[in-house]
Amino acid sequence: MKKILITGAAGFIGSHVARLFVNKYPDYHIYNLDKLTYAGNLENLKDIEHKPNYTFIKGDIVDGNFMLELFKQHRFDAVIHLAAESHVDRSIDKPMEFIMTNIVGTVNLLNAAKAVWDGQYKGKRFYHVSTDEVYGSLGEEGYFYEDTAYDPHSPYSASKASSDHLVRAYHDTYGLPVIISNCSNNYGPNQFPEKLIPLFINNICNNKPLPVYGKGENVRDWLYVVDHAQAIDVIFHGGENGETFNIGGHNEWKNIDLIRVLIRVVDRKLGRAPGTSDKLITFVTDRAGHDLRYAIDSTKLQQKLGWKPSLQFEKGIELTVDWYLNNQEWLESVTSGNYQKYYEEMYGNR
Ligand code: NAD
Ligand code: TDX
């Protein structure tokens, strides 16, 4: 049985990746290693937590000794590394946690894999999940390609860029069998309500202001989270060591246009007259270092491994809004800290 360590699988994207792997590959054992920060929530995994091929381990990737001992104990065949501090605004406020988790934590994982695999790399894989933000910002035209030079602007994106460089360095220097993907903005169920789409759905429901940074003219390329999980599956199994793949939806939206779609869909589902929530739009001071535009070219992934996004954006937004409207308890528990209680009840002091 293949033993796969997925880091950060109590978070947004990680939970979708863990669900896909646990259900699709009964002959793999999935170990979810997560610190359970504010962003990690075991309720995201309720439907798989009792499966025989799934184990949760609470731990911090910043603790290098702990990571090494864990590797020695379980002798993982592969790592899919998603654990990170992931919110740009928090990185502007408090960069150090991003440096520790995203850079030091990644190096700890690389060191543990290197030590335990000890040059026996056949059948081994270290998959690092990264972001398109490492490439910096585009103007009105053009795309990010796999060989676009790195040019990060926020502490978050600089910490992810740094971790990408280190992962490649361990491949080039020690031969570690690594693979990297850089994905555009994800949206969908289970995203913590600090990111644009879930925050604004929640605020529209509660008639709270919608804080649009600057003029709302920044552009993001949105991908449904399950499509990202499927891309990770395809790359994990079909990519070659040392390769990079860009993942994106070819689905660019100016923030203000996306916000108007959200307002229209949420108002309709709540039985409000069209345009009711337009008045909630509130232009606020721009984010410092705010990247203007991200757009991914994922031709390599589509042509080489046959992946493509499965969902039209309109359908994805309907599914996402429905999920948040039907999961008010989840929203309350992730924002109130109740999930900590859930964790203690479920897992005690393990
Ligand atoms: P998230 O913030 O929802 O989840 C991160 C998870 O990592 C949480 O469960 C958290 O508890 C865990 N974690 C944080 N610090 C840890 C530590 N020190 N040790 C162990 N676990 C720790 O993030 P997400 O949006 O699901 O992103 C997952 C990964 O994908 C990140 O690496 C991120 O950079 C990347 N990514 C995200 C997006 C996006 O749009 N959200 C796009 C491209 C790439
Ligand atoms: O309140 C807000 N108002 C606003 O105008 C928030 C939270 C965001 N925005 C803008 C900033 C961005 O232009 O919306 C856009 C999207 O913002 P976020 O949801 O914070 O995402 P972004 O900064 O683009 O980064 C995301 O995509 C890449 C993820 O958070 C990263 O983890 C991922 O790597």
Q: Provide the strand spans (E) within 195-313.
A: 210-213, 219-224, 244-247, 252-254, 281-284
Mean pLDDT calculated for residue range 295-313: 96
How high is the pLDDT of residue 332?
87
The amino acid present at 209, given as its one-letter code, is P
pLDDT tens, residue by residue, 157-199: 999 999 999 999 999 999 999 999 999 999 999 999 999 999 9
Which of the four pLDDT bands, split at 50, 70 and 90, describes residue 333?
confident
- Is the per-residue pLDDT at 261 higher than 90? yes
Compute CA 257 distance to the chain's CA centroid, rounded to the nearest angstrom.
23
Q: Is 141 helix (H, G, I), strand (E, B) or coil?
A: coil
Of the chain, the percentage scoring pLDDT greater than 70 comes to 97
Q: Please tell me the pTM assigned to this model.
A: 0.97
Asked whether the predicted pLDDT for residue 339 surpasses 80, the reply is no
Ligand 2 nearest atom to the CA of residue 290, by list position: 13
Test site for ligand 1: of 7, 12, 167, most ligand atoms within 8 A of the Cβ: 12
Ligand 1 near 183 CB (within 6 A): yes
Quick: pLDDT tens for 22-36.
999 999 999 999 999
278 is annotated as an active-site residue: no
How remote is the CA of residue 104 from the centroid of ligand 2, in Å? 24
Instruction: Kindly report the number of other CB atoms within 10 A of residue 105's CB atom.
Output: 26
Which ligand 2 atom lies nearest to the CA of residue 294? 24
Q: What is the C-alpha to C-alpha distance for residues 136 and 134, in angstroms, rounded to an integer?
A: 6
**DSSP assignment letter at 149:** P
Which pLDDT score is estimated for 81? 99
Q: How sure is the predictor about 344, in pLDDT bands with cuts at 50, 70 and 90?
A: confident
Rounded average pLDDT over 84-92? 96
Question: Which among 43, 79, 45 has a CA at the least distance from the CA of 61?
Answer: 79
- In the chain, what are the helix, strand and coil shares in percent, each to the nearest 5? 45, 20, 35
Average pLDDT, rounded, for the chain: 96
- Give yes or no: 156 in active site: yes
pLDDT recorded at residue 79? 98
Q: Which bound ligand lies closest to the C-alpha atom of 15?
A: 1
- Verify whether ligand 1 is closer than 6 Å to residue 198 (CB atom): no
Distance 130 CA to ligand 1 centre (A): 10
Paired strand residues for 281: 210
Task: Tally Cβ neighbours within 10 Å of residue 310.
Answer: 11
How remote is the CA of residue 84 from the centroid of ligand 1, in Å?
Answer: 4
> Using CA atoms, how far apart are residues 338 and 327, in angstroms rounded to an integer?
15
Q: Which ligand is nearest to the CA of 90?
A: 2
The reported pLDDT for the residue numbered 335 is 81
Residue 349: its pLDDT value, please? 52
For ligand 1, the distance from its centroid to the CA atom of residue 259, given in whole angstroms, is 24
Ligand nearest to the CA of 82: 1
**Distance (Å, whole) CA 89 – CA 73:** 37
Instruction: Write out pLDDT tens, residues 200-232.
Output: 999 999 999 999 999 999 999 999 999 999 999
CA of 88 to the centre of ligand 2 (A): 7
Report whether pLDDT(308) > 80.
yes
Query: One of 31, 127, 143, 156 is an active-site residue; which one?
Result: 156
- Whether 250 has a pLDDT exceeding 80, the answer reads yes
Of 60, 133, 146, 291, the active-site residue reads 133
Distance CA 64, CA 185 (A): 30
CATH class of residue range 2-187+223-247: alpha beta
Please give the pLDDT value at position 342. Answer: 67
pLDDT digits (tens, 9 = 90+) for 104-135: 999 999 999 999 999 999 999 999 999 999 99
- Report yes or no: 79 and 106 within 8 Å, Cβ to Cβ: no
Is residue 155 scored above 70 in pLDDT? yes
Task: Give the integer Cα–Cα distance in Å for 170 and 110.
Answer: 7
Least confident span in 247-251, 272-276, 332-336: 332-336
Give 294's pLDDT tier (boundaries 50, 70, 90).
very high
